[in-house]
Amino acid sequence: MIQFIGEFLGYLAGVCTAVCFLPQTVKTIKTKNVQGLSWLSYAVYSLGIFSWICYGFYLHSVQMILFNAISLVFASIILFMILKGQKRGSK
């Protein structure tokens, strides 16, 4: 029973963490408005997520790898759009 609770909490935390960037990602894609979003913040966050994925491989933790990979996709999309918007704005 204790192991089930631990697994449940791992999946719940992973889903919450992975899905938290979905609304921002969808909004950014729809509006293409990246004004006010920090590229440095998203770059550091993406590096942190990538590190969690590597650590997940080290621990053989499916939840850590899966949900951080999902988070990395969302954060990378936003980071790409921020950098693309800055490049476009500098022309």
Q: What is the pLDDT of residue 90?
A: 57
pLDDT of 3: 83
Q: Which residues of 1-12 are buried (b: 16+ CB within 10 A; e: fewer)?
A: eeeeeeeeeeee
- The Cα 7–Cα 43 span in angstroms is 30
**pLDDT tens per residue across all 91 residues of the chain:** 778 888 888 889 989 988 998 999 999 999 999 988 999 999 999 999 999 999 999 999 998 999 999 999 999 999 999 999 877 665 5
| Domain ranges within the chain, ordered by starting residue | 2-89
Domain 2-89 has CATH 1.20.1280.290: yes
Q: Return d(Cα 17, Cα 68) in angstroms, integer.
A: 8
pTM for the full predicted model: 0.84
- Residue 37 DSSP class: -
